[in-house]
Amino acid sequence: MADAAAETDDAAPEGEASDQPMMFGVPCTDERGQTVLYPSREEYPDVLALAAADGFELCVDLCAVDALTNRGRVMPPGVEPERFEVVVNLLDMRGRRRLRIRTQVPADDPQVPSAVSLYPGTEAPEREAADLFGISFIDHPDPSRILMPPDWVGHPLRKDYAIGAIPVQFKAVEGR
């Protein structure tokens, strides 16, 4: 759509690996005009820092995806699809371009470094992702539940968390 994502793909040089476009040292694809980066968990903080230094000053959004039922999704070569993804949308207000960063997070160790120190505006979105997906953000200043009650068990947006399959949990009411 008119979402003028990235006219400026000039920052994608240094293509060491054959024909796979790279940006900030990680694989990069063009999804219908939107630039998407695929860093590993280890590269993720560095890529964020590089992007911030490159002018992506506003972190628009951070969310998680559970790809439990979407294992067949297409990934650029060299990127191992995992169950969870943390998706960050950045915005360069001067260059008027957007950047999306998809970080793969394995199910057996759902941890990602927090981006709060770099982008303070990701605090609430990271809490939301942690609350609804059970992904913990390392060094997050306030890793508490944000939407669900603090004593809730489970992470509702996970694909193996069924709709309406559990009784509604309420806090204990005294005298009942």
| Residues lying near other proteins in the complex (CB under 8 A) | 1-4, 31-32, 34, 36, 52-53, 55, 57-61, 63, 65-67, 69-70, 72-74, 87, 89, 93, 96, 98, 100, 117-125, 128, 132, 141-142, 144-150, 156-157, 161, 163
- Closest approach of other proteins to the CB of residue 149, in Å: 7
Least distance CB 141 / other proteins (angstroms): 6
- In the chain, how long is the greatest CA-to-CA distance? 69
CB of 40 to other proteins, least distance (A): 19
Going through the chain in order, the beta strands assigned E by DSSP cover 22-23, 26-31, 34-37, 58-66, 84-92, 97-105, 111-113, 136-138
Nearer to other proteins, 17 or 124 (CB): 124
Give the 3-state secondary structure of residue 27: strand
* Alpha helices, H only, the chain: 44-53, 123-133
Query: Which C-beta is closer to other proteins: that of 15 or that of 170?
Result: 170
Query: Are the beta carbons of 5 and 35 closer than 8 angstroms?
Result: yes
Closest distance between other proteins and the C-beta of residue 4, in Å? 5
Within 29-143, residue ranges assigned H as helices are 44-53, 123-133
- 15 vs 169, which CB is nearer to other proteins? 169
In the block, residue with structure tokens 């559970």: 66
Closer to other proteins by Cβ: residue 16 or 171: 171
